[in-house]
A and B are shown apart, each in its own frame.
Chain A
Amino acid sequence: MTERVGFSAGRVGTIALNTFTESVRQKVYYILLIFALVVIASASFFAQFSFSEQLKFVKDFCLGALSVFGALIAIIGTAQMLPAELENRTIYTILAKPVRRGEFLLGKYLGSVCLVAVSLLFMGLMFGAALWFKEHRLIAEALAMAESTPADELQHTLQQIRAEALDPDILKGVLLIFVKLALLAVVTLLVSTFSTSMVFNVAVTVMVFLAGHLRGVATEAWGEMLWVRALLAIVPDLSAFNVADDIILGNVIPWGHVGKVALYGLVRTVILLAAAHLIFSRREI
Chain B
Amino acid sequence: MDAIRTENLTKKYALGWRRGKLLALERLNLRVHEGEVYGLLGPNGSGKSTTLKLILGLVTRTEGEAWIFDVPCDQVASRLHVGFLPENPYFYRYLTGVETLEFYGRLCGMRGAALQKRIDALLELVGLARARDRRLAGYSKGMLQRIGLAQALVHDPKLLLLDEPTAGVDPIGSRDIRDLILRLKQMGKTVLLCSHLLAQVQDVCDRIGILNLGQMILEGDVRTLIRDQRRLSFTVQNLPAEGQARVEEAVRAAGGQVIAVEHPQTTLESLFLDALRKDERGMRQHD
Known: A2-B71, A22-B95. A93 touches B104 (CB 8 A): yes
Given contacts A93-B151, A96-B56, A284-B59, contact A3 B80 (CB under 8 A): yes
Residues of B75-121 at the interface with A, using a CB-CB cut-off of 8 Å, are 75-77, 79-80, 82-84, 86, 88-92, 94-95, 99, 103-104, 106-109
Output the least CB separation between B25 and chain A (Å): 14
- Stretch of A34-42, A44-52, A97-105, A249-257 with 4 or more beta carbons under 8 angstroms from chain B: A97-105
**A interface footprint on B62-81 (CB within 8 Å = 1, 0 otherwise):** 00000000110001110110
From known contacts A14-B106, A284-B59, infer whether A98 and B76 are also in contact, taking CB-CB under 8 Å: yes
Chain A: interface residue count, which band? 20 to 34
Chain A residue contacts of B70, Cβ below 8 A: 2
Q: Does A148 contact B (CB under 8 A)?
A: no
Main secondary structure of the interface of A (DSSP, over half): loop
A93 lies within 8 A of B89 (CB): yes
B58 located at the interface, meaning its Cβ lies under 8 Å from any Cβ of chain A in the complex: yes
Q: Chain B residues with Cβ under 8 A from A171's Cβ?
A: none
Bound together, the chains give a CA A3 to CA B109 distance in angstroms of: 14
Between A and B, how many residue pairs show CB distances below 8 Å? 88
Are B86's CB and A97's CB within 8 A?
A: no
Given known pairs A21-B94, A22-B95, A26-B94, the reply for A96 and B58 (CB within 8 Å) is: yes
Tell me if A285 is interfacial: C-beta within 8 Å of chain B.
Answer: yes
Q: Tell me, yes or no, whether B8 is within 8 Å of chain A by CB.
A: no
B140 beta carbon closer than 8 Å to chain A? no
In the complex, the answer to whether B80 meets A5 with C-beta atoms within 8 Å is yes
The A11-56 residues at the B interface (CB cut-off 8 A) are: 11, 14-15, 18, 21-22, 25-26
Q: Are B58 and A95 in contact (CB under 8 A)?
A: yes
Is B186 in the interface zone, CB < 8 Å from A?
no
Q: How far is the CA of A18 from the CA of B91 in the complex (A)?
A: 12
Measured in the bound complex, the distance between the Cα atoms of B13 and A181 in whole Å is: 37
Cβ proximity bits A73-110 to B, threshold 8 Å, 1 near / 0 not: 00000000000000011101111111110000000000
Among A2, A10, A96, which residue has its beta carbon within 8 angstroms of that of B79? A96
User: Quick check: is B60 within 8 A (CB to CB) of the other chain?
Assistant: yes
Q: Does A156 contact B (CB under 8 A)?
A: no
Expressed in whole angstroms, the Cα–Cα distance for A10 and B111 within the complex equals 11
Closest 3 CB pairs of A and B: A96-B84, A25-B94, A88-B90
Residues of A whose CB lies within 8 Å of any CB of B are 2-5, 8, 10-11, 14-15, 18, 21-22, 25-26, 88-90, 92-100, 282, 284-285
Using a CB–CB cutoff of 8 Å, the interface residues on chain B facing chain A are: 13-14, 53, 56-60, 70-71, 75-77, 79-80, 82-84, 86, 88-92, 94-95, 99, 103-104, 106-109, 148, 151, 155, 161
